Amino acid sequence: MLRALHLIAALLITALSPAALAQKSSGHMDLDDLSNAYGAQLAAFRVMISKTDVICPQQTGLFRIAPNGLVTDIEALLWLVPELPRSDGKIVKVMDLSPVLAPDDFTYRRRLAMESCRIDVDISEQQKQDGEWIPLLSLERPNAPSSRKNDDPPVMSPTRLEAFDRHMRATAHAGNLLQGRGGTIKSVVGFEGAKDCFDAVATYRIDQLGVTLLFPAGLEGELNRFFIERVDSDADHSTLYLSRGSCRVGFTISASILRDGVWIPLPIAPPRPEPTSLRPHGCGSGPTATNGPRFVRWPPMSASTPPWSSGTSAASRTFSPPLRSSPLTCRT
């Protein structure tokens, strides 16, 4: 009964809030359409925050979504910011990784903070029922069943103990392979009723510009074959939704900065301007036409032409972008 009331409240909030009514997709892509005919590829998606003069945190790590709906976050503790000078000359050294309360029972908040800037990644999960996305309760919410948290840890089997010991010995002779590394932190987030999800892995990068997710794509098997959509719910929040079948996982990005003792939202960067033409400014005909660069396809591609030129092996050529500037005069 209590869970039903939670779901009803969440649906009412979602349906009636002005932000929800204004939600609209600002871009989408189906990674299943990235053909493996071109081999391994990298699908990069970034949510950028507005520029600020304060120093924001930096971190690299990995997100993994499992078919059972569990979301794993592995943070790499790299010494990226040993000393950062502020505008007033003070040195900033500390990055706060302390857990924080989520905004609601359906969200797990992942916060990375420095003294005057913090970036939040809110993780949520939904299941589709009768054509509607229903939010799932986070197992990390304050009022979640406490038996899992308070019980004594289970006794490890001899096989698991051996595996743990082998894991600890693996780095015994790593030496300079570990240069600049301070270890890793692994956490696993679950949601009640999660099922029939998909397998996805991404490297993430959090920095002064925002949050970037990098997915290897075009591989064999079922890894990273999902639909991704970006929804900007308001000026300060942007969500990347990953979905396949009846499962959807959301990563909502927001940032805030400290001004005069008060944390204020840092807006999401304005949307990417729509290109109006492939012809650069200054190209054309008539008395105003000038010489300048033109855009060309490189290399020339057709249905029967591979993305590397003839006479050169695929292994020795890099994949060129589909549009490239050439220092030739404009065609009229």
Banded model confidence at residue 273, pLDDT cuts 50, 70, 90: confident
Q: How confident is the model at residue 274, as a pLDDT?
A: 66
CA-CA distance, 117 to 113, in Å (whole number)?
6
Q: How confident is the model at residue 107, as a pLDDT?
A: 96
CA-CA distance, 97 to 183, in Å (whole number)?
14
Task: Assess whether pLDDT exceeds 50 at residue 324.
Answer: no
Write the pLDDT tens digit of every residue in 64-114.
999 999 999 999 877 654 455 555 555 455 567 677 889 999 999 999 999
Task: Assess whether pLDDT exceeds 80 at residue 231.
Answer: yes
Banded model confidence at residue 130, pLDDT cuts 50, 70, 90: very high
CA-CA distance, 108 to 114, in Å (whole number)?
20
Percentage with pLDDT > 70 across the chain: 65
- Rounded average pLDDT over 116-133: 95
Q: How confident is the model at residue 216, as a pLDDT?
A: 94
Q: How confident is the model at residue 89, as a pLDDT?
A: 53
Task: Assess whether pLDDT exceeds 80 at residue 215.
Answer: yes
* 152-156, 258-262, 286-290: the lowest-pLDDT one: 286-290
Q: How confident is the model at residue 275, as a pLDDT?
A: 61
Percentage with pLDDT > 90 across the chain: 45
Banded model confidence at residue 151, pLDDT cuts 50, 70, 90: low
Q: How confident is the model at residue 207, as a pLDDT?
A: 93
In 3D space, the residue among 42, 49, 109, 112 whose CA is nearest the CA of residue 77 turns out to be 112
Contact indicator for 59, 198 with CB cutoff of 8 Å: no
Q: How confident is the model at residue 156, as a pLDDT?
A: 78
CA-CA distance, 162 to 149, in Å (whole number)?
25
- Tell me which DSSP letter residue 315 carries: G
